[in-house]
Amino acid sequence: MKTPMRAMALRIWLVCWLVLVWLLLWGSVSAANILSGLAVALVIMLLLPLPPVPVEGRVHLLSLIRLVLMVAGRLVVSSAQVAWLAIRPGPPPMSAVLRAHVNVKSDLVLALAANIINLTPGTIALEIDQPRRLMYIHVLGVDNDRALQSFYHQISSLEKLLVTAFERDADWQPSAREQDSR
């Protein structure tokens, strides 16, 4: 359960985030943009409330930094690979839909994994089988076994980093909603 102080801090953070997005959309910081962004954020918060997302683990900062660095490195490498596939001579690259098991406990972390995969050039998560934690991913450039093994290694590395950043067993406390569903 969230404490009232934590719930209030999350609401304030969300309002600030929405105001920032509003300012970025308008492209300039002015008193009118800040006030109108605040009004829009409050209307969104009051009229369109999101359901609560259970957060069962704890964030580990060093592991999160390692995750961000790995994702940034993968973005650079895969961007170069996709660019090469686009300009190289020869037939178009072979693509495939591959099934990957992502052994994470939280739906929030599973969604984060899908977003990281979607951000990576050359891959897109087509379907998520939530109960079995399976993802069906379209992958570009899987012409040989080495490329296939590289993809599965990347998924395994991503899973390990997500677990160490957000879902360590020592910090894991299933939400009341998850316990009720069992």
CA torsion through residues 112, 113, 114, 118, sign: positive
Average pLDDT over residues 20-34: 95
| Model pLDDT, residue 97 | 96
Helix (H) or strand (E) holding 7: helix 4-26
Instruction: Look over the chain and give the mean of its residue pLDDT values, rounded to a whole number.
Output: 88
pLDDT of 179 above 70: no
For residue 104, give both structure tokens: 């994470």
Quick one: DSSP state of residue 94? P
pLDDT of 56 above 80: no
State the pLDDT confidence band at 59, using cuts at 50, 70 and 90. Answer: confident
175: buried, middle or exposed (CB in 10 Å: 19+, 13-18, 0-12)?
A: middle
**Residue whose C-alpha is closest to residue 35's, from 23, 48, 53:** 23
| Model pLDDT, residue 170 | 73
CA 7 and chain centroid, separation: 22
User: What is the side-by-side strand order in the sheet with 134-140?
Assistant: 95-101, 134-140, 123-129
For residue 19, give both structure tokens: 């105001």
- Residue 71 to residue 45: CA distance in whole angstroms: 31
| Model pLDDT, residue 128 | 95
For 106-146, write each residue's pLDDT tens digit.
Answer: 888 999 999 999 999 999 999 999 999 999 999 998 988 99
Helix (H) or strand (E) holding 124: strand 123-129
| Model pLDDT, residue 74 | 93
For residue 78, give both structure tokens: 């895969």
**Could you tell me the maximum CA-CA distance found in the chain, to the nearest angstrom?**
61
Contact (Cβ atoms closer than 8 angstroms) between residue 159 and residue 135 = no
Length of the chain: 182
| Model pLDDT, residue 180 | 52
Contact (Cβ atoms closer than 8 angstroms) between residue 92 and residue 115 = no
pLDDT of 173 above 90: no
